[in-house]
């Protein structure tokens, strides 16, 4: 398992500034969280790739800034919006490819939307086919405000699409009041990426090692399911004081692993 940090931790610093901070700290495995349309331009992406290459680091995943809109982009009854959004997401697949990443994180439909899992899987199949043509995969993340909050939904999706790939997010499982190990188990052998954080009562997103999470069973179960991918610390800027805390969190995870 490769352990690293997401640029999302430093939002609202610009993406390139966030990447530079992490690279200067010696982080070698990274997720890039895009924050605007212009960041999908090839010239900009090549600059990010050059920064990572120079530092001997690898960008393993990308996170669309439009994740929060995917419910209306892809899971409404308006076919034209699906078609237009499908074309737009090809830019993310291209961006991931330029950066050398192989995973595009996907939130999907909202939990209040009514849609059969079979139809959901059909739409994912269309999008993921586009992604795979670009050399990447569209990986469904468990997210509290989305359909993917439910282990039952994730299990059904994986049964319908054995090729489905998943991102497990620990804090989102906690926010959805789900057993993290059950959420992970529901993703079966499709897990390709982990978003890690710690938690305490009243604080659901902390640097690893600052809360009560026992990561050993989580890592053991992931390994038992065949996972051998990447894991990144994904926090928000208000959740840590400085880079030192992120460094300590990363070292803590390495010691558990």
Hey, what are 140's tokens?
């469904």
What's the pLDDT at 32? Answer: 98
pLDDT for 204 equals: 93
Sign (positive or negative) of CA dihedral 81, 87, 93, 98: negative
- The CATH homologous superfamily of the domain defined by 2-256: Divalent-metal-dependent TIM barrel enzymes (3.20.20.150)
* Structure tokens given for 166: 């998943």
Tokens 């999008």 appear where? 127
Closest Cα to residue 248, out of 209, 215, 221, 222? 209
Which pair of structure tokens corresponds to residue 65?
Answer: 């800034």
The H or E element containing residue 166 is strand 165-169
Q: What percent of the chain has pLDDT over 70?
A: 100
What crossing angle do the helices spanning 42-54 and 15-24 adopt, rounded to 10°? 10
Confidence band, pLDDT 50/70/90 cuts, at residue 179: very high
Band (pLDDT 50/70/90 cuts) for residue 214 is: very high
CA Rg value for the chain: 17
Query: Whose structure tokens read 């710690």?
Result: 198
Provide the mean pLDDT of the chain: 98
Looking at the DSSP bridge assignments, the partners of residue 32 are 62
Q: With cut-offs at 50, 70 and 90, classify the pLDDT of residue 59.
A: very high
- Spatial contact of 141 and 190, defined as CB atoms under 8 Å apart: no
Per-residue pLDDT, averaged over 104-116, amounts to 97
Q: What's the chain's length in residues?
A: 257
């Amino acid at each position: 398992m490769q352990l690293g940090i997401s640029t999302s931790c430093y939002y609202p610093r610009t993406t390139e500034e966030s990447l530079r901070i992490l690279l200067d700290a010696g982080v070698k495995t990274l997720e890039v969280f895009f924050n605007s349309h212009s960041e999908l331009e090839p010239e900009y992406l090549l600059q990010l790739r050059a920064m990572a290459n120079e530092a001997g680091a690898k960008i393993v995943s990308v996170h669309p800034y439009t994740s929060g809109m995917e419910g209306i982009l892809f899971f409404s009854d308006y076919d034209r919006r699906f078609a237009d959004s499908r074309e737009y997401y090809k830019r993310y697949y291209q961006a991931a490819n330029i950066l050398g990443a192989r995973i595009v994180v996907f939130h999907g439909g909202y939990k209040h939307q009514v849609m059969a899992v079979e139809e959901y899987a059909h739409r994912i199949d269309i999008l993921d086919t586009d992604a795979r043509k670009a050399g990447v995969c569209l990986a469904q993340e468990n997210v509290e405000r989305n359909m993917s909050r439910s282990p039952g939904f994730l299990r059904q999706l994986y049964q319908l699409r054995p090729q489905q790939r998943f991102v497990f997010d620990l804090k989102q499982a906690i926010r959805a009041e789900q057993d993290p190990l059950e959420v992970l188990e529901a993703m079966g052998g499709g897990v390709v990426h982990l978003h890690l954080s710690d938690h305490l009562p009243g604080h659901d997103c902390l640097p690893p090692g600052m809360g009560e999470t026992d990561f050993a069973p989580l890592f053991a179960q992931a390994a038992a399911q065949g996972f051998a991918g990447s894991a990144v610390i994904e926090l928000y800027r208000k959740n840590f004081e400085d880079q030192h805390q992120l460094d300590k969190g990363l070292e803590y995870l390495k010691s558990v692993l």
